[in-house]
Amino acid sequence: MMQARFLSGFPWNLLGTSQHKILPLIQIASLTGVYGVSFLVVWFSLSLVCAVMVIIQRPTMRSAWIGEVILPLLVAGVTFGFGYHRIMQPSVPGRELKIVLVQPSIPQTLIWDAKESTNRFQQLLRLSEQALTNKPEVLIWPEAAVPNLLRWHKETYQAVTDLARSHKVWMIIGADDAEPRRNTPNPNDADYFNSSFLVSPEGQIAKSYRKRLLVVFGEYIPLVRWLPFLKYFTPIEEGGFTPGDRPVPFEMDRWGERPREPSDGRSGLTAGSSPGVLPHQKVKTSVLICFEDNFPHAVREYVDEDTDFLVNLTNNGWFGEGAAQWQHAANALFRAVENGLPLVRCTNNGLTCWVDAHGRLRDIFGLDSGNVYGAGFVTIRVPLLPPGQKRGPTFYHEHGDWFGWGCVAVAALSLLLQLARRRVTV
């Protein structure tokens, strides 16, 4: 619980994440968050250790060890039963959203090389043009894909908006942003943000979101106000990013399928509609940038009852071609389980994919070719709820870290009781 919060938090590879492939087990996260899975791992492991100790200490009592494992076994069985029941629930037939995810695979050294900005941006545009031949409704670029400040660099802004306008496609892209700093004597002072933008098919910036949870010593320096020399240790030239202040939902208009004629011949059109007009629909998502999808308590704030799915834009180029890309995806899939809705991941060099509401990794780019770190794109179809239907919130989404904080309270109380007994004994 402290790891996820201290100095803005870094909840990477929490213990429960190790069980990400055991789908029935991790469904308990919809009640307790990933912390419930961690608890089961610790409890079951300790029960086995205690059972072995009993066998060693009391070898003549052959069944004494059973008392150490019976309760955790029972709880594990109930947990698996709950998970199987949740997974086997029939899905409600609904809509699908066709999305293309672009993975540019930009080496981290080039991201910081201003001389290569034009070349890598042109490569990104060419890759996107190829991807758009699949006629998606939404095109997504990862974090740090755009080399310049989108709103303040005319050529970059023109290229992005022209791409959206010419293909009549919604775009969700990762790009830095800046604003002049208020109440400062230097007119050139500015606040910089790690941002994402929603670009409409008309070529307009419809919404923008600024990353709230920054990477310590990577995007911001703690205590820099009192220890200003620390700013020279950050890789960000401006000395660090400024955090955003709130989640920003992205809403996209789309046109649904024309209603089908029922078998009895009666029209399937609603009152006021006509055969030549398709029903108007909206799709709603929220964007998480970089490792924001690692924070259970924070991601809850990005989900409303009518949110269709979440999007994560991330740049894992920092790690080269390593295991961290897989670790990040394993951590992120718990957010889908905890909140009961899909998560779309668009990354710089892996893993670009989407996660269903039960935590399954779907349509991983490069998995078939054996190179998840290369450049390319993947077209996915994300399931949406039927028009007008709300997604039932999970218990975790409604009540948050009740289980985690409960464990903290019990542990603290136990510690205080132990200290009190020692004082009485002394």
What the chain holds in terms of domains, given with CATH numbers, is: 6-90 (no CATH), 96-256+276-386 (3.60.110.10)
Asked whether residue 117 carries a pLDDT value surpassing 50, the answer given is yes
State residue 260's pLDDT score.
Answer: 43
Q: Residue range 342-361: average pLDDT?
A: 96
pLDDT in tens, 141-182: 999 899 999 999 999 999 999 999 999 999 999 999 999 888
Residue tagged 């009781």 (tokens): 417
Helix (H, G, I), strand (E, B) or coil at 106: coil
State residue 224's pLDDT score.
Answer: 66
| Residues in CB range of 11: below 8 A, 6 or more apart | 3, 4, 294, 295, 296, 331
Q: Residue range 61-77: average pLDDT?
A: 90
Asked whether residue 268 carries a pLDDT value surpassing 50, the answer given is no
- What is the Cα–Cα distance from 142 to 174, expressed in whole angstroms? 5
Measured in degrees and rounded to the nearest 5, phi and psi for residue 241 equal -90, 160
Highest mean pLDDT among 80-84, 182-186, 190-194, 258-262: 80-84
Asked whether residue 112 carries a pLDDT value surpassing 70, the answer given is yes
State residue 110's pLDDT score.
Answer: 83
Of 192 and 254, more confident: 192
- Among residues 369, 352, 375, 373, the alpha carbon closest in space to that of 100 is found at 352
- Count of CB atoms situated within 10 Å of the CB of 197: 23
353 DSSP β-pair partners = 345
Beta strands 95-103; 138-140: pairing state:
parallel
Position 203 confidence tier, pLDDT thresholds 50, 70, 90: very high
Low-confidence winner among 13-17, 107-111, 221-225 (lowest mean pLDDT): 221-225
State residue 182's pLDDT score.
Answer: 83
Highest mean pLDDT among 62-76, 153-167, 384-398: 153-167
**Angle subtended at Cα 314 by Cα 140 and Cα 91, rounded to the nearest 5 degrees:** 65
**Structural contact between residues 146 and 160, judged by C-beta atoms closer than 8 angstroms:** yes
Q: Residue range 270-295: average pLDDT?
A: 74
Helix axes 34-57, 402-425, angle to 10 degrees: 40
Position 303 confidence tier, pLDDT thresholds 50, 70, 90: very high
344 DSSP β-pair partners = 311, 354
Extract the tokens encoding 374: 């290369």
State residue 274's pLDDT score.
Answer: 43
Q: Residue range 195-220: average pLDDT?
A: 92
- What is the Cα–Cα distance from 397 to 292, expressed in whole angstroms? 16
State residue 259's pLDDT score.
Answer: 43
| Residues in CB range of 18: below 8 A, 6 or more apart | 41
Q: What percent of the chain has pLDDT over 70?
A: 89
Residue tagged 């998560």 (tokens): 343
